[in-house]
C-alpha cells in the first residue's frame, strides 16, 4: 500500500491508531494532546528544531515496537502530523488563518486543554532561554498567558494556579490560546529565518549522542538503527 503524502492531514482513524499506540507506549510517552502542544511550541519557537530531535521526548524510554512495520507506521504518522502543523502555521503568515489544536475530550465530553498547554510549555522549556525575547515583550508577551493558565490549573502550588474556570471561561481561554499560538509563530518568524541562514553556514548542531548506523535502534525494536528508525527519519 503506498504511503500517504508527507503533508497529508491524518484521518480520524489514523489519529485513533496513533493515540492508542501512545497510550500503551509506557509511562514516559506523551499522549496525543501533549504531543500536539509540544510540537506546536517547537515549530513556533525561534530556533529550528527537527521532529527527529523531539521524538525521544514524545515516545519516552520505555517504548517498544512490535515490528518494523509498526515502527514505520507510528513514526510516519508523527512525521505527517508535524509536517501538517508546520504547513498550517506557515499559512498564518500569508492569510487570516489559525491552527486548530488536537484537544481530547474527557469522560464528560469537555475539551479542557490542560494537556495541550502542558505539552506547549514543555516545548518552550526544550530550549531554555530561547523564548525570553517574547516573554519580555510588552506588546506580545501575553500571547502565551493562556497556555500558562491551563498548564498550571492543577498545580500543587496554589499560588501558581489561575482563578477557577467555568465552562464558558475555559472556552474563552482556549480560543485565546489558539489565537496566541498564531501570534507566537508570527513573532518568531524573523528569528527562525536568522537561524536558518546561520545553520546553512555552520556544522549541524547535535543535542544528543550520535547513533551509529549499526548500533541498536533507540526506539527499542531490537533492530539496528540503519534498518529501523533511520529509514523513516532520513
Rounded to whole angstroms, the Cα distance separating 28 from 11 reads 26
User: How does pLDDT run across 167-218, given as a tens digit for each residue?
Assistant: 999 999 999 999 999 999 999 999 999 878 877 665 554 444 555 667 665 4
The ranges assigned to domains in the chain are 12-233
Question: pTM, whole model, 2 decimals?
Answer: 0.82
For the chain, the farthest-separated pair of C-alpha atoms sits apart, in whole angstroms, at: 54
User: How does pLDDT run across 124-159, given as a tens digit for each residue?
Assistant: 999 878 999 999 999 999 999 999 999 999 999 999
CATH number of the structural domain 12-233:
1.20.120.740
Cell triple for 110: 469537555
* Residue 111 bridge partners (DSSP): 105
CA dihedral 118, 121, 122, 123 (to 10 degrees): 130
Amino acid at each position: 500500500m503506498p504511503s500517504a503524502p508527507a503533508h497529508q492531514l491524518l484521518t480520524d482513524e489514523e489519529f485513533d491508531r496513533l493515540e492508542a499506540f501512545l497510550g500503551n507506549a509506557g509511562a514516559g510517552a506523551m499522549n496525543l494532546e501533549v504531543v500536539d502542544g509540544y510540537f506546536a511550541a517547537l515549530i513556533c519557537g525561534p530556533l529550528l528544531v527537527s521532529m527527529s530531535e523531539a521524538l525521544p521526548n514524545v515516545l519516552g524510554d520505555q517504548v517498544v515496537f512490535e515490528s518494523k512495520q509498526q515502527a514505520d507506521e507510528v513514526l510516519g504518522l508523527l512525521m505527517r502530523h508535524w509536517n501538517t502543523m508546520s504547513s498550517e502555521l506557515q499559512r498564518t503568515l500569508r492569510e487570516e488563518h489559525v491552527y486548530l489544536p488536537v484537544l481530547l475530550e474527557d469522560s464528560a465530553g469537555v475539551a479542557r486543554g490542560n494537556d495541550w498547554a502542558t505539552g506547549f510549555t514543555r516545548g518552550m522549556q526544550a530550549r531554555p532561554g530561547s523564548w525570553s525575547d517574547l516573554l519580555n515583550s510588552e506588546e506580545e508577551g501575553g500571547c502565551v498567558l493562556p497556555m500558562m493558565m491551563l498548564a498550571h490549573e492543577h498545580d500543587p502550588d496554589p499560588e501558581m494556579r489561575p482563578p477557577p474556570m467555568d465552562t464558558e471561561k475555559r472556552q474563552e481561554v482556549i480560543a485565546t490560546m489558539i489565537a496566541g499560538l498564531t501570534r507566537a509563530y508570527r513573532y518568531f518568524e524573523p528569528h527562525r529565518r536568522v537561524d536558518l541562514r546561520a545553520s546553512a553556514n555552520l556544522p549541524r548542531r547535535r543535542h544528543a549522542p550520535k547513533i551509529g548506523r549499526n548500533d541498536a535502534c533507540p526506539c527499542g525494536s531490537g533492530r539496528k538503527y540503519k534498518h529501523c528508525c533511520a529509514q523513516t527519519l532520513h
